[in-house]
Chain A
Amino acid sequence: MRKFIAVAAFALSTFAGTSAFAAINVVTSTEDLAAIVKEIGGDKVTVESLARGYQDPHFVEAKPSFILKLNKADLLVAVGRELEIGWLPPLITQSRNPKIQPGSAGYLDASQSAKILDIPTGQITRAMGDVHPQGNPHYWLDPDNARRIAQQVQNKLSEMSRGDAAYFAQRFADFDRRLAEATKRWKASMAPYKGVKVVTYHRSWPNFADAFGIEVIGYVEPKPGIPPSPAHTLDLEQEMKRQNVKIVLVEPYFDLKTPNAIGRDTGAKVLVMPPSVGGVKEIKDYFQLFDYDINLLVNAIKETGAR
């Protein structure tokens, strides 16, 4: 009996101890969101992303190991706009975690206050390919949207741990300041090339293009989610030649065969440009993502003389 009491007391004390210092356990669907949560949460949170940055976020497998992660999560942050529609909903259902069910306090759709582009108007059908009825989900590629996401994360974390609200507010202010500085720097690097024309593989870059003055004149995919077809590739090449387009951006998870062929035929440079934190090893946070991408792009523009 005494032993039992001792064990119980120990269990209680460790339980109390952990809960007093417990970090908020956050799971995000993508590494970009994880990076932003880390900026705001600091050491008051633990963050883990389900998808990897070099993986197509539309096509993640709903592995049972993710269920374990979601089971223990206090907060789930998702990109939303149906980006994860093919894999996240069954994981949430099976997580057996009432905290993170959609509509609960522990579920945060990061897109709620973001600036969303490409929201279809009028009738949409699947004849248009894999259209996202709620707009383009690659919205994190605009630094201003990162600020909006961070603001939401700050609000949510403060709500979950009121004692740390000042800490999160201070971290947000710091992130906000650094982001403003970095954005100025990125925009300055891109400013000489405003209006430069590019082709991208998937429609992943509208927010990025908007933020940095790039013009996307076409896509390697004939329609979103539909693999390249010879007829479309031919049309695209003609258009690229007509407009003198010298750059093709490809997300790291797409096959390079067609982009390389386009590059050979048109003399354009094919850039494997990661749209997410973790897309390549060097990109470990949100700032490094833009440092890397803009550096890559500026060098290619200089090299090809693209305009």
Chain B
Amino acid sequence: MIVNRRSIGGATACAAMAFSSWLSTSAFAQAPSAGAATPPPQQSTDPQQIRQELDRLRQEFEAIRDSYGARLAALEAKLGASTPPPAPVPALPEAAPPAAAVPSPAQAATQAPGQPGQAPGVEVPSGAAGAGGPQGSLPVYGNASALSKIFNPDMAVIGNFLGAVGENEIESAPALELHEAELSLQAIVDPYARADFFLAASPEGLEIEEGFLTFTGLPGGLLMKVGKMKEQFGKVNTMHAHTLPWVDQPLVMKNLLGGEEGMNDSGLSVSKLVMNPFLFLEATGEVYQGNSGGVFQSHERNDVSWLGRLRGYRDITESTNVDVGFSFTRGHNEIGPDTTTRLYGVDATVRWRPLRRAIYRRLMGRTELIWSRKELGEGDANAFGMYVSGDYQFARRWFAGLRFDRSERANDSSLVDQGPSVLLTYWPSEFSQIRGQYRRTKYAEGVTSNEALFQFLFSIGAHGAHVF
């Protein structure tokens, strides 16, 4: 859907702040030393006084050096490995005239890079080297305006604007609403891991939708994720709102998987490829805190929830492929400390996309079947829900879709909601999307609603590509 195209990256904001504060403080602290040290001794009338002054300054300087040595080392370690040596910019004490008392950290940060022509690098003061301080040229971190962006994560904001027309007495959505603004921050952490954050701001507030670390270099062909994430149950539950082929979510998500946010929780996920000559087979095991949306509730620390998933994928031809998954999860529910909910899911997807016409034509058929077994204290509620959907791209910018929903409710399987949807989607570009959906829902209460839903999705910045 809305795809990525990464912008040229930069350094982290916090590093930039560290730089600027370092700049300002060092300018403050060292300005006197630079000012007093420069006058040559022979100009003075009292050599003794000068000597004392010098000694005092040396002590001052060494104290400063010690305090910054550690910070410098840390910064160097961060920068040194993966980047070319930073462009030399005058470090402050000598290059900045002492009289130019720095009024604010921000100004200090911008002043330093303004003078790169004057001094390409700064020699470490002679006393420092002998005392175990850094030797040779000091690397200079002052060029906050350009350098600080290098390690910035890829950032993007995706706006999801919804409109609704028609009547719905059961779940009434506002006529017009900026439903969500999703901020994504994504970067490689170190040679072993990458991190992805997705913050969702909505009328309900700001929420960490996901925030996790992915270890890419584990032995044994393992992929591990740690953090808050969407649980790998089926397909729709793992997708962000802007990657769904619909304006809304299927009824089974609301009834059995805890509503719009779906199941997302803090936990740990490990997955492994099961090597075999026939198909792509991936086994995933996850453990979570046990509080996910409206499905699980943890009453004590041990009430974690568990999840297992097996996914198989195979190319039938170069254009056609089949993707099938089985999911299971179990956790404690809100009824009490001794009651659990188990969910079983089967999902199947068939895709067709001819390579020569990949930007013009594609077809996707998908279904998910979900069974819920919820212990209610006295007896269990066994509920079943499903959807089946089809999406067809018939022109470079146009998609048509159909969906049929049917779902029982988790607490009472005699209550059934169901209904069809018809969709039309237009993409002005890869970065925006306009969609309309007609939805007819027959609720268990005996109410039937007819609604037209509208959606504008738009993305700015660099949003990482999504998994298939």
Residues of A at the B interface (CB closer than 8 Å) are 52, 54-56, 59-65, 67-68, 71, 82, 85-90, 92-96, 98, 101-104, 126, 129-130, 133-134, 225-227, 252-255
> How many Å lie between the Cα of A86 and that of B465 in the bound state?
5
The 3 closest A-B pairs by CB, nearest first: A98-B217, A64-B313, A64-B280
In the assembled complex, the CB of A198 is this many whole angstroms from the nearest CB of chain B, namely 22
In the assembled complex, the CB of B459 is this many whole angstroms from the nearest CB of chain A, namely 9
Q: A55-B358, A82-B6 are in contact. Are A96 and B313 (CB under 8 A)?
A: no
Q: Mark B116-146, 1 if CB is under 8 A from A, else 0.
A: 0000000000000000000000000000000
**Do A68 and B280 touch across chains, with their CB atoms under 8 A apart?**
yes
**Is B414 an interface residue when CB atoms closer than 8 A count as contact?**
no
In the assembled complex, the CB of A222 is this many whole angstroms from the nearest CB of chain B, namely 12
**Do B3 and A86 touch across chains, with their CB atoms under 8 A apart?**
yes
**Do A104 and B191 touch across chains, with their CB atoms under 8 A apart?**
yes
Q: What are 6 A-B residue pairs whose CB atoms fall within 8 Å in the complex?
A: A59-B359, A67-B273, A86-B4, A94-B223, A134-B8, A253-B359
> How many Å lie between the Cα of A260 and that of B29 in the bound state?
72
- Collect the chain B residues with CB atoms within 8 Å of residue A62's CB: 465, 467-468
In the assembled complex, the CB of B320 is this many whole angstroms from the nearest CB of chain A, namely 11
**Is B221 an interface residue when CB atoms closer than 8 A count as contact?**
yes
A103's partner among B82, B221, B466 (CB-CB below 8 A) is B82
**Do B216 and A56 touch across chains, with their CB atoms under 8 A apart?**
no
**Is B5 an interface residue when CB atoms closer than 8 A count as contact?**
yes
Q: Can you name the residue of chain A whose Cβ is closest to the Cβ of B459?
A: A126
Q: Can you name the residue of chain B whose Cβ is closest to the Cβ of A279?
A: B356
> How many Å lie between the Cα of A54 and that of B443 in the bound state?
49
- Collect the chain B residues with CB atoms within 8 Å of residue A71's CB: 221, 273
**Do A130 and B5 touch across chains, with their CB atoms under 8 A apart?**
yes
**Do B358 and A56 touch across chains, with their CB atoms under 8 A apart?**
yes
> How many Å lie between the Cα of A55 and that of B358 in the bound state?
7
11 further A-B contacts with Cβ under 8 Å, apart from A65-B314, A103-B188, A225-B429, are A54-B355, A55-B358, A63-B468, A64-B323, A68-B273, A71-B273, A94-B223, A96-B222, A101-B191, A126-B431, A253-B355
Q: A89-B464, A90-B467, A255-B396 are in contact. Are A65 and B429 (CB under 8 A)?
A: no
- Collect the chain A residues with CB atoms within 8 Å of residue B82's CB: 103
**Do A94 and B467 touch across chains, with their CB atoms under 8 A apart?**
yes
Q: Can you name the residue of chain A whose Cβ is closest to the Cβ of B432?
A: A126
**Do B5 and A86 touch across chains, with their CB atoms under 8 A apart?**
yes
- Collect the chain B residues with CB atoms within 8 Å of residue A104's CB: 191
**Is B218 an interface residue when CB atoms closer than 8 A count as contact?**
yes
Residues of B at the A interface (CB closer than 8 Å) are 3-8, 82, 188, 191-192, 194, 214, 216-218, 221-223, 272-273, 280, 282, 311, 313-315, 318, 321, 323, 353, 355-360, 396-397, 429-431, 460, 464-468
A90's partner among B8, B357, B360, B464 (CB-CB below 8 A) is B464
- Collect the chain A residues with CB atoms within 8 Å of residue B7's CB: 133
B5's partner among A68, A85, A96, A254 (CB-CB below 8 A) is A85
Q: Can you name the residue of chain A whose Cβ is closest to the Cβ of B461?
A: A126
In the assembled complex, the CB of A86 is this many whole angstroms from the nearest CB of chain B, namely 5
**Do A63 and B355 touch across chains, with their CB atoms under 8 A apart?**
no
- Collect the chain B residues with CB atoms within 8 Å of residue A85's CB: 4-6, 465
> How many Å lie between the Cα of A37 and that of B465 in the bound state?
27
> How many Å lie between the Cα of A88 and that of B466 in the bound state?
10
> How many Å lie between the Cα of A86 and that of B464 in the bound state?
8
- Collect the chain B residues with CB atoms within 8 Å of residue A54's CB: 355-356
> How many Å lie between the Cα of A130 and that of B8 in the bound state?
14
- Collect the chain A residues with CB atoms within 8 Å of residue B273's CB: 67-68, 71, 96
A64's partner among B216, B272, B468 (CB-CB below 8 A) is B468
**Do B191 and A103 touch across chains, with their CB atoms under 8 A apart?**
yes
**Do B465 and A89 touch across chains, with their CB atoms under 8 A apart?**
yes
**Do A61 and B353 touch across chains, with their CB atoms under 8 A apart?**
yes
**Do B430 and A225 touch across chains, with their CB atoms under 8 A apart?**
yes
Q: A61-B468, A65-B315, A93-B194 are in contact. Are A102 and B218 (CB under 8 A)?
A: no
**Do A90 and B465 touch across chains, with their CB atoms under 8 A apart?**
yes
In the assembled complex, the CB of B141 is this many whole angstroms from the nearest CB of chain A, namely 22
> How many Å lie between the Cα of A89 and that of B188 in the bound state?
11
**Do B5 and A82 touch across chains, with their CB atoms under 8 A apart?**
yes
**Do A55 and B355 touch across chains, with their CB atoms under 8 A apart?**
yes
> How many Å lie between the Cα of A95 and that of B216 in the bound state?
8
**Do A96 and B216 touch across chains, with their CB atoms under 8 A apart?**
yes
> How many Å lie between the Cα of A70 and that of B173 in the bound state?
45
In the assembled complex, the CB of A286 is this many whole angstroms from the nearest CB of chain B, namely 21
- Collect the chain A residues with CB atoms within 8 Å of residue B360's CB: 255
**Do B6 and A64 touch across chains, with their CB atoms under 8 A apart?**
no
Most buried by B among A52, A64, A126: A64
Q: Can you name the residue of chain B whose Cβ is closest to the Cβ of A95?
A: B216
> How many Å lie between the Cα of A69 and that of B431 in the bound state?
30
B313's partner among A52, A55, A63, A92 (CB-CB below 8 A) is A63
B216's partner among A63, A98, A255 (CB-CB below 8 A) is A98
B466's partner among A67, A90, A101 (CB-CB below 8 A) is A90
Q: A62-B467, A85-B6 are in contact. Are A253 and B356 (CB under 8 A)?
A: yes
- Collect the chain A residues with CB atoms within 8 Å of residue B222's CB: 96
**Do B280 and A67 touch across chains, with their CB atoms under 8 A apart?**
yes
**Do A101 and B8 touch across chains, with their CB atoms under 8 A apart?**
no
**Do A55 and B356 touch across chains, with their CB atoms under 8 A apart?**
yes
- Collect the chain B residues with CB atoms within 8 Å of residue A226's CB: 429
B359's partner among A56, A63, A133, A134 (CB-CB below 8 A) is A56
- Collect the chain A residues with CB atoms within 8 Å of residue B194's CB: 93
Q: Can you name the residue of chain A whose Cβ is closest to the Cβ of B429?
A: A226
A253's partner among B272, B282, B358 (CB-CB below 8 A) is B358
Q: A96-B223, A133-B8, A227-B397 are in contact. Are A64 and B282 (CB under 8 A)?
A: yes
- Collect the chain A residues with CB atoms within 8 Å of residue B318's CB: 52
In the assembled complex, the CB of B137 is this many whole angstroms from the nearest CB of chain A, namely 26
**Do B188 and A102 touch across chains, with their CB atoms under 8 A apart?**
yes
- Collect the chain A residues with CB atoms within 8 Å of residue B397's CB: 227
> How many Å lie between the Cα of A63 and that of B467 in the bound state?
9
In the assembled complex, the CB of A43 is this many whole angstroms from the nearest CB of chain B, namely 24
- Collect the chain B residues with CB atoms within 8 Å of residue A52's CB: 318, 355
A61's partner among B192, B214, B358 (CB-CB below 8 A) is B358
- Collect the chain B residues with CB atoms within 8 Å of residue A65's CB: 280, 313-315, 321
- Collect the chain B residues with CB atoms within 8 Å of residue A60's CB: 358
> How many Å lie between the Cα of A278 and that of B252 in the bound state?
45
> How many Å lie between the Cα of A229 and that of B216 in the bound state?
43
B358's partner among A59, A82, A89 (CB-CB below 8 A) is A59
In the assembled complex, the CB of A72 is this many whole angstroms from the nearest CB of chain B, namely 9
In the assembled complex, the CB of A97 is this many whole angstroms from the nearest CB of chain B, namely 8
> How many Å lie between the Cα of A89 and that of B467 in the bound state?
9
**Do A63 and B315 touch across chains, with their CB atoms under 8 A apart?**
yes
Q: A64-B323, A126-B431 are in contact. Are A252 and B6 (CB under 8 A)?
A: no
In the assembled complex, the CB of B416 is this many whole angstroms from the nearest CB of chain A, namely 35
- Collect the chain B residues with CB atoms within 8 Å of residue A67's CB: 273, 280
Q: Can you name the residue of chain B whose Cβ is closest to the Cβ of A98?
A: B217
Q: Can you name the residue of chain A whose Cβ is closest to the Cβ of B360?
A: A255
